Amino acid sequence: MLLNKPLVFVLLLNFLFLSLKWLLSFYKFDETLLTSILINTKDIQYYPIIVNLSEFNFNPTFLEYYNNSKIINLPLASLAIHSIFYKLLNVYSFIILEYVFHLLLVFVLFNIIKKIFNSSNAAALFTILIYILILSLKAVSNFVEPQIFYKLYNILSENFGTRTPRPLVTGVFYFSFLYYMMFFEEKINNKLDYNYVLKIAIFLGLLANSFLFLFVHSFIFLLIFLFKVLGAKLIKWIKLNYKKLCYFIILLIIFLQPIVFQNLYAEIDYTSRVGLISNGLEKKFFLIKYYLTALLRFEFLTLFSLTLYLNWYVNKNFFLKENIDKLNIFFLLIIASILSPLIFFIISPKIISIFHFLNIILFSFIFYIILSLFYILFFLLKKIDFKNYLSKKIFYLIILIICVSIFAPLELNSFSKNNKQRAELSELHSFFNKNNLKNTNLKLFTNDLLIMNLWLLNNNTQLIISDAHSNSLQDVKIEFNLLNSLKDFKIGEDQLKDLISFEKSQVRNKLFMMLFSYKYQANTLYTFSALENYNKIDQDLIIKTSPFRVQMQIIPETEKERIINLYKNLEINQDLLPNYVVLNISNSLENFNIKNNKYKEIYKTKNFLIYKRL
């Protein structure tokens, strides 16, 4: 994978895209680097994990009071580099690694396409068109009502975007694996070497320790590809290559050990918060039946029919034979994506966030369709001298103008939508700085993820409550920390009932989603409690909800009653009270105020209240 002029142009264009976001941010807003990072980057819920991982802390509690908790499950491979760079460069690392990994992703994608077309110019054009398509879908979805444009944009951006760590890091691992699979048939048919086996095993191991679903999908794809290449010769090939096969299996077992270790020693309550549930025989049959039925839906059949037709068309036409085997690899990816959930449901004793399988299926379809159409177009227009055409300065200029004309307005529109949020966050950061609220062991109570990150990235260490995915505490301790502060705030029982929607139907209570995430998932496959323990409206909703919708969170009434009784009998622990309180009163705490006069309101913005405990 070497640099050439078309690749350099694509990398420079991508660098410009990334830079525009940061340059517009600093030019248009008077904000600090930290607040800009928190607004301009996605999945900031991973930042507390990165901070703790940089200190080799695998069981973060964010409270010195607790010191005997178990570890949390981590996507270790996709966060390790971020944690190392954070240790060295602090918050600058988030910007630097966004550039590094996204440029790497573009580099690998370019070389995959180049391998199919034997043309750097075609690879450059395809890579640019992918990002123009993403930008165009985003632009259209802002003005057109049908959700299909937003869904298509979401599918592509989830695989080519800059969200940390997925797809920013996992995308590099996945597409690197696919790049080396482009040589698979040649290696299998000729001479399989240990170096190649090592590369495949490494990237599978990285995927396993980054995003389990991509690992399952990629491993099944590898097996399907192997069967396709060898067919009846498979047994003979295994006998001839058993040493290399054993080498591969041993490597894979070694790379899977961190996952085994984490599952053995992780906090059980943490695994339930991230959505891990048992997959007994009854659930297996239900999931398989539901999934097979879903494959007969119009949307799936339409996509499958279109890909079958495209696959038939490009393989049938004599003028489309060049490197057709490389294009067919991506058709095998579709087959692997369809089989992956079935095999996973049958084999795995546990399941988690299975909706990710559907996203992989959709991406496999969409990417193959785009790639096939480009393949057809490329060969139909082969009479055009692409080399000369793409080398002309005017062509590069046109591409640049198109990209900037789409991207810049989108970024400006995005800024205009959240410029009040930016202003408030900058204001709060300024308040923290003026009051020396950094590098402290003071305890903060906040219901806002942005403020949690602002606090921790200012090198403060303690949070009374923290994001469900970031801490290793047992649920009873998380509940106590919350209720302990609320009781000290002198919050009445009626207000607590409003807060948890007692005897009311509510989906995805914002505060409980932050604290417990997928613990209270409720759908036709799984509920936290027996169905009769939910109110009638929620019961009707649950029985209509797909088992793939783990994001549906509903707290049963019995659980609400338990929390209220716990609150009534709770004795306040003075060691677990906050020094400062920052409340987002627009986020689950509307009309909320602290009645204990030991807490003095010291600052206020439109959406935030800051209290100091005297």
pLDDT digits (tens, 9 = 90+) for 19-70: 878 887 777 777 888 999 998 888 899 999 999 999 999 999 999 999 878 9
Output the 3-class SS for 172-226.
Answer: HHHHHHHHHHCCHHHHHHCCCCHHHHHHHHHHHHHHHCCCHHHHHHHHHHHHHHH
Top pLDDT among 4 and 553 is at: 553
φ, ψ for residue 351, nearest 5 deg: -135, 155
Give CA 54 to chain center in angstroms.
20
Q: Residue written as tokens 């209290």?
A: 611
Distance CA 367, CA 334 (A): 10
Indicate the range of 93-102, 217-226, 410-419 predicted with least confidence: 410-419
pLDDT band, very low/low/confident/very high, at 139 (cuts 50, 70, 90):
confident
| 589 has pLDDT over 70 | no
Quick check: 411 and 20 in contact, CB under 8 A? yes
Residue 359 contacts residue 155 (beta carbons within 8 Å): yes
pTM reported for the whole predicted model: 0.93
Average pLDDT, the chain: 90
Per the rule left: phi > 0, alpha: psi between -120 and 50, beta: everything else, 323 is left
Q: What is the CA radius of gyration of the chain?
A: 26
Nearest-5° Cα angle at 251, 249 to 254: 110
Instruction: Using CB atoms within 10 Å of the CB of residue 595, give its burial: 0 to 12 exposed, 13 to 18 middle, 19+ buried.
Output: exposed
- pLDDT level of residue 393 (50, 70, 90 thresholds): low
Q: Which residues contact 591 (CB under 8 A, 6 or more apart)?
A: 585
Give the DSSP H or E segment for 606. none
Position 398 scores a pLDDT of 62
Q: Do the Cβ atoms of 422 and 29 come closer than 8 Å?
A: yes
* Count of C-beta atoms within a 10 Å radius of residue 561: 14
**Alpha-carbon distance 283 to 301, whole Å?**
25
Judge whether 351 and 284 are in contact, CB under 8 Å. Answer: no
What pLDDT is attached to residue 337?
Answer: 97
Q: How far apart are CA 505 and CA 493, in angstroms?
A: 18
Residue 389 has pLDDT above 50, yes or no: no
Give CA–CA dist 49/44, Å, rounded.
10
Q: Is the pLDDT of residue 387 over 60?
A: no
pLDDT value of residue 26: 76
pLDDT in tens, 356-374: 999 999 999 999 999 999 8
Residues, the chain:
614
Tell me the pLDDT tens digit for each residue of 87-137.
999 999 999 999 999 999 999 999 999 999 888 888 988 998 898 888 778
Q: Kindly tell me if the per-residue pLDDT of 145 is higher than 70.
A: no
